[in-house]
Structure 1
Amino acid sequence: MTTRFLGRWARLLGTRCPITAFSGSTRLPPLPAPVESARVQSLGLQLHSQVRAMCEGRSLIKEEDDSNLWFKRTELEQLVDMAGSPEDVLKLWADKGGSANQAANSFIKLSKLSMQKGGLDCTDILQDPRLLDMLSKVSSEVGTVWNGNLVSLLRALSQLGVAPGAVVMHTLQTEALWRVRRFTYRQLVFLADWVCARHSPQRQELQSGVVKQLELRWTELADARTVSVLMAKVGQLSPLLMDKLEDKALELAEKFNAEDIRRVALSLASQGRRSVSLLRALSYHLHQKPSKELNTPLLLDVAFACGKLNFKQTQVFQRIAAELLPRKAELSSSDVMRCAKSFAYLKWLHLPLFECFTEHYLENSQKYSTMQLCSLLLSLARLNFQPSKAEEFYSKVHEALKGMLKDLEPYLQTDLVWSLCILQQAKPQYLQSVLDPVFQRKLTEGNPSRTENYRLKLLHVAAAAQLENLCPSEASVILSMPVPTITQESRPTPLQTSLKEALQSLTENNGGACRTGVNTIYGWTIDGELVVDSDNKPMDLLAIEAPHVHIGGGGSPMPEGARRIAFLVGEFPNYSSRSKDLLGRFAMQRRHLQLAGFLTVEVPYFEWQELKSDWQRVAYLKDKMGKAVAEEMAK
């Protein structure tokens, strides 16, 4: 508004000048014309300079007749640029002195020199009288420091170790807050990077002002690097700005280099923003990058971001695996753990890559910490992966866990033993450690839902102990306890509801011939249960004893030739990505129910969804039952 007013005032004032005579029909005398023209041009330049000065508020340097002085570097600044040590900079200031802007340049050079010398200790320098004189100069004449130098000066003083609560820092931040609307967008980004790096009450007001300006002027964004830096540094402070940055990132994704892609992906993951369109664009452009740009930390960070956001992109994961396989010798134990964990979260089993991870452990087992080994085993169990050199691999694992298990945090110890049960590598001493009543009491503290979840895992461990005959005496106590309510409160899925209806049609709506949603003493839920005679005809199971449930079984023993059949629904999350292999948890469920005397009939979603009518579903179940009985008889 002020700029428009001054511009109109200048034009109005210009109409009163003799320059208007040149645009009309009035003719000038021939001789005075050059003099008058020169006078009018001089007046025009003076008006332009005055308007410009008033529009800019405070002039950053004193106006001179020679306009080129604005771009000229002083002798002191040139000498400071060539200085090779902090002492040289301080000596130049003591010899020549200078303005506050030149002092700012000197501070910036001091900061660069200290960083080049590996974080030089600046304690003595900060007590130097020459540096204190520079600080005093900057503090007293802060209004004459240029915008770019002001922003860089804040960072330079922080790097030199000036306290955040120092008077000069407060003065500079106040000045920056007053000028925040006059900074260029790049200067705002640079300032935001500094102000967000260290949160403090003194910087809160400046941070709010900078973020507000970035929100208002986001359309000025033009380069990919600035977008990626803002998303990483400022995005979490302003959801509104983050929305705009995502749009800009999608627009500029083609210009991102590999490092920008990594930075954007990590910022999305840290804020939990699953922007599918942006993630797809980043995945596409990452896949196009040459191998020399894809270093190992970058690949691991991208895998982590995809795992955190549950974003699955086949080509990217195949590229990550292909890049990591030849680098096995370069990988550290932390790298293997991180990558395995990310792929496990995504339920993405890449057989050569996980074979590479187990071989890496065999070659470098002494470099793995207990936590890293536990994380690797949890990842293998989630994907139900068994290495080709299983005997050699697990012998080293058991050797590393010897004497270390009892020192683990209770929840981690439960997860580890549960994972070893999935991998069929649990030893009696492992099971006894978590089935001990004293240990179980340690799991009762904390979030109730978490407690119930681990109570369920203990039931699975006890089931492995009893059904696999590892330590049945310790398991009998915990298996006699009621099943956690967490398994009883889950709502049935559409597939489970559809299976229940089909089973009712199969048994001709005989309520005593089938059970659905059966909570077993082993912690597993059976989606549907039937007892069939030797002719595969459903029988009344309510009168037959049911040792697998706490309540609901009858008193009659199983008739000769009868078989128990358990129907297990295979939902989409039960399988590895892009395969029909069950995840470790559900593979252990099937194994335990088979050991408990059931014939398991799996009903996977990808087969059930092809059945459109009720009679097709009933025929499908009958066919599955017949195959299961035939396989059991063949054994």
Structure 2
Amino acid sequence: MALITLPRSHFYSSGLQTCRVLTCLRKYLSPDNNKSRKVMCQGYFSPQQEQFRIFHHANYRKHHLEKESKAYPVGSVFFQTAAWDRFEQSNGHVDHQRFYKELNNFTSSEQVLKFVTTLETLSDTMAAAALYRVSEVEKEKSAQKIPKTVLENEIFRALCFQFEYESTNLSDTGLVTALQALTGLHVDPQSNLLVNLIMECQNRLQQGHMTIHNLCVLGQCMVKLQNPNCAVLKEIILQLQGQKLQECTPEEIVAIYTLLQTAFGEAIQHQDFLDQLNNLCISLVYKFSPTVTSQILNALVTLNQTQAFPLVVKLCVHSVKFVSHFTNEELGKVLEGFIYFGYTDKFFIQALEEHVSTCCLTMHPESISKVMQYCSKKLILSKPIFDAVAESFVYQAEIFSPVQISQLIIPFGKLNYLPPNASLFFRKLENTIRTRFKYFPPQALLNLLHSCTLIGHPPVNYVAKLFSPYFLQKLQVQELGLSKSSLAQLTQLYLAVVLECPFYKGPKLLQQYQVKSFLIPPYLLETPMDLHLYKIVSVALIHLLEGRIYFASKVSTPCCYTVDIEIKLDEEGFVLPFTSDEDVYKRLALCIDDPKRFCLNSHNLLGKEAIKQRHLRLLGYEVIQIPYHEVEILPSRCEIVKYLKKKIFFHRYRFY
């Protein structure tokens, strides 16, 4: 393994024998060699970074170790996160494992490079790991190019120089890790540095001796530097297929999934390989750590592995015991997997409730919003989660972005739930919207305010802005044309203001932005009636009323709602034929509510059904709810008829 020796101070002299590269490096760093140094540096970085191509003065010495000593795996999958005591300054050789643990504690490039200068000897894998850590911390800062402070750092320059001119002497791990780090730092792919590293990687690849981890790292670099269909990537996948997968460690399996995830276009052409990998994982799930579990679930989502549902189920069940151990990012990936594959687990929900109830105030805003998205998508009304989130929002609404706020609030309306601190909750929400109104994307704001409407809190103070041509134009631009869903939401908002806030005298929603029915795909505002449940109820009604003529089905109302079953009564309580429009004193609206109209495993109506029944009452209907859980327990038609008679006609009725 090649070793790179770095100084404790400038002009460090040594009596030890130096190698050919060190001699070149000293000549290169000589203060009298500015011209040649400038020429040699050119090509490392993209044209936007030319102004930073100056090396500083330093001397370096190099010691030799065996080229193929044991390589410590480097990469986001393999880094550990434990703290330890600092190195003894007198120790010239550093324990690899301690080095990597220490490296992960640094949060800036300056810290990493300064740490490197404290070491007398540095193996190529350790030097590559240092560069990789620099790329990680710069990525966390969302840097699109290498910062000036990094470019001007003499240690960074010297490392790049030796990686370029010693590429043939590097270990496989040091080689691919250096390539991965420099790729992440957006080094110019046409530079001599990257060209040399890539050529050496291709030579090693042709020899066919690279480990699975190094093959995967190289493959990811090739995708970034070239394209997912490049010849090198095809060769890497072929070599991976020739490996003994049953002998792979969980970390190596993750590395393969991550490569296939990165090269999605190439991966879908090797579905047989993916199927083999999926089947193997089923028997290994019990070995997976929280990190491995979340990464594989995320890869299955990206690769659209819907046929791997047995593996998904095992991963989801396995993840239950890790809920409190997942990082914020890992928990988000797991929840995305649950959402994508449509999986729910009561034990996972219980563990999630316990975790959120305990840690909500310290959880990352993105994690909280992801939890609420999961509950919303799967219609899970978890009062412990919702109460904890409502409390968190009241105390720290400022940490949430406008989009996250929308994702937080929507489930409360969708699942028709008011938290115990509802007054404080809505007061905080109104203040937040008022101070940050212009920062909300139009669609997110519409969804948020519509959700408030579903639970009986129409946003009267903001309706005028929503109905303004300016907002509608912004919404139209964002959606590339107003969708039927948005128009339906606007219509229901307007209807709610008219019916529930008669004091509102502001602008109206123009007719051109109103829909005529809420029963339109994707059925966001009304749920279609379940035909099986309707048949049971209608047969019993025919027997009770002694004729089909006395009730109508799927009746459209002027207020855009559709009544499942309507029965008309005159002033004396006589039941009128549904064709009669005269002498109608009262209309009965029967809501045939199947499980799709309730929250998951609950008798709590969804918000869109609750607002529908609320509005029908305000429009003069007598709403009678016929829920599935009351009908399905009745043993016979005769019992159903008795149930309907008691439910609908609790007073004496007559027929014409």
TM-score, normalised by the number of residues in structure 1? 0.71
The corresponding residue for 2:219 is 192
Q: Give the counterpart letter for 1:112 in structure 2.
A: A
Cross-structure match for 1:33: none
Give yes or no for contact 1:382–1:419 (8 Å, CA) kept in 2.
yes
Say whether the 8 Å CA contact 2:125–2:173 is kept in structure 1: no
Query: Which of the pair is proportionally richer in helix?
Result: 1
Code of the residue aligned with 1:287 in structure 2: it is V
SS for the counterpart of 2:188 is coil
2:564 aligned counterpart, secondary structure: strand
Q: Deviations over 1:307-343 (max 9, x none)?
A: 3433211111211221232224423444433322222
Partner residue of 1:154 out of 167, 175, 179? 179
Relative to structure 1, the CA distance from residue 518 to residue 296 in structure 2 (aligned partners, 3 Å threshold; closer, same or farther) is same
What is the alpha-carbon distance in structure 2 between the residues aligned to residue 306 and residue 202 of structure 1? 28
Corresponding position of 1:572? 595
SS in 1 for 2:458: coil
1:277-316 deviation digits (Å, cap 9, x = unpaired): 323322333334595x344554444334323433211111
Q: CA deviation at 1:505?
A: 5.3
1:433-512 counterparts in 2 under 5 A? 433-436=465-468, 439-440=471-472, 443=475, 451-470=483-502, 478=511, 483-484=516-517, 487=520, 493-495=530-532, 498=535, 501-502=538-539, 503=541, 506-511=544-549
Q: Would you say 1:283 and 2:316 are equivalent positions?
A: yes
| Residue identity in the other structure for 2:568 | V
- The DSSP-based 3-state class of the residue aligned with 1:538 is strand
Q: Hey, what's the Cα distance between the residues in 1 that align with 2:304 and 2:347? A: 23
Give the match for residue 19 of structure 1. none
One-letter amino acid matched to 1:515? A
Task: Give, as a single letter, the amino acid of the residue that structure 2 aligns with 1:540.
Answer: P
Aligned residue runs from structure 1 range 347-496, under 5 A = 347-402=379-434, 404-405=436-437, 408-436=440-468, 439-440=471-472, 443=475, 451-470=483-502, 478=511, 483-484=516-517, 487=520, 493-495=530-532
- The residue aligned with 2:359 is 327
Partner deviation per Cα, 1:134-163 (whole Å, 9 max, x = no partner): 63564xxx5x87655654453365467653
Task: Write the deviation string for residues 384-423 of structure 1: whole angstroms up to 9, x where unpaired.
Answer: 2212122222222222222644664332232122111112
Letter in 1 for 2:621: F
Q: Distance in 1 between matches of 2:189 and 2:66?
A: 21
- Determine the structure 2 residue equivalent to 1:163: 188
Say whether residues 1:268 and 2:300 are aligned partners. yes
**In 2, distance between residues paired with 1:370 and 1:482?**
28
The answer as to whether partners of 1:462 and 1:478 remain within 8 angstroms in 2 is no
Pick from 649, 653, 656 the counterpart of residue 626 of structure 1: 649
CA shift digits 1:224-272 (9 cap, x unpaired): 2222333234244524133333222211001011111121222233445
Residue number in structure 1 paired with 2:128: 111
**How far apart in 2 are the matches of 1:297 and 1:224?**
19
- Structure 1 437/593 Cα, relative in aligned 2: closer, same or farther at 3 Å? farther
Structure 2: distance between partners of 1:208 and 1:200:
12
Code of the residue aligned with 2:620 in structure 1: it is: G
Letter of the aligned partner of 1:174 in structure 2? Q
Q: Aligned pair 1:339/2:378, yes or no?
A: no
Distance 1:86 1:609 in 2: 85
Q: How far is 1:169 from its partner?
A: 4.0
Partner residue, 2:346: 314
Q: In the superposition, relative to structure 1, how do residues 178 and 347 fare at CA in structure 2: closer, same or farther (>3 Å)? A: same
Give the equivalent residue in structure 2 for 1:183: 210
Structure-1 residue corresponding to 2:80 = none
Equivalent-residue separation in structure 1 for 2:518 and 2:210 (angstroms)? 60
**1: distance between equivalents of 2:6 and 2:474?**
65
Query: Does residue 525 of the first structure (1) align with residue 554 of the second (2)?
Result: no
Q: Partner of 2:649: helix, strand, or coil?
A: helix
CA deviations on 1:592-630 (whole Å, 9 max, x unpaired) are 112111122223333444567655554443332135x79
Amino acid at match of 2:22: A
Give yes or no for contact 2:590–2:626 (8 Å, CA) kept in 1: yes
1:100–1:145: 8 Å Cα contact kept in structure 2?
no
* Alignment match, 2:236: 210
More displaced 10-residue stretch of structure 1: 205-214 or 496-505: 496-505
What is the CA distance between 1:462 and its match in structure 2?
1.9
Where 1:163 maps in the other structure, the secondary structure is coil
- Mapped to 1, the partners of 2:534 and 2:481 lie a distance apart of 25
Structure 1 residue 479: deviation in Å?
10
Partners of 1:606 and 1:475 in 2: CA distance: 40
The residue identity in structure 1 corresponding to 2:199 is T
Shift of 1:207: 1.7
**Could you tell me whether the CA contact under 8 Å between 2:332 and 2:370 is conserved in 1?**
yes
Paired residues of 2:127 and 2:159 also in contact (CA < 8 A): no
Alpha-carbon distance in 1 for matches of 2:189, 2:568? 76
**C-alpha distance in structure 2 between counterparts of 1:220 and 1:147, whole Å:** 23
Please say which of residues 161-170 and 92-101 is displaced more in the overlay: 92-101
SS in 2 for 1:526: strand
Taking every aligned residue pair, what percent have the same amino acid on both sides? 17
User: Which amino acid in the other structure matches residue 164 of structure 1?
Assistant: P
Distance 1:531 1:358, change over 3 A: same
Q: CA deviation digits over 1:557-604, x for unaligned, max 9?
A: 523xxx311122323232112211112121111111121111222233
Residue type of the alignment partner of 2:253: V
Distance in 1 of aligned mates of 2:322 and 2:513: 58
Structure 2: which amino acid aligns with 1:621? L
Contact 2:589 2:623 in 1 (8 A): yes
Alpha-carbon separation, structure 2, partners of 1:220 and 1:446: 49
The amino acid across from 1:367 in the alignment is I
Per the alignment, residue 603 of structure 1 pairs with 626
* Greater RCO, 1 or 2 (C-alpha within 8 Å, sep 6+): 2
Q: Distance in 1 between matches of 2:323 and 2:403?
A: 34
Aligned to 1:135: 164
- Distance (whole Å) between structure 2 residues aligned to residue 375 and residue 381 of structure 1: 11
Greater CA radius of gyration, 1 or 2? 1
Instruction: Tell me what 1:248 maps to.
Output: 280
Q: 1:172 to 1:574 in 2, by over 3 A?
A: farther
Structure 2 gap ranges (5+): 24-60, 70-121, 139-148
Q: Say whether residues 1:229 and 2:255 are aligned partners.
A: yes
Residue type of the partner of 1:172?
E
| Amino acid of the structure 2 residue aligned with 1:155 | Q
> Would you say the 8 A contact 2:290–2:322 is kept in 1?
yes
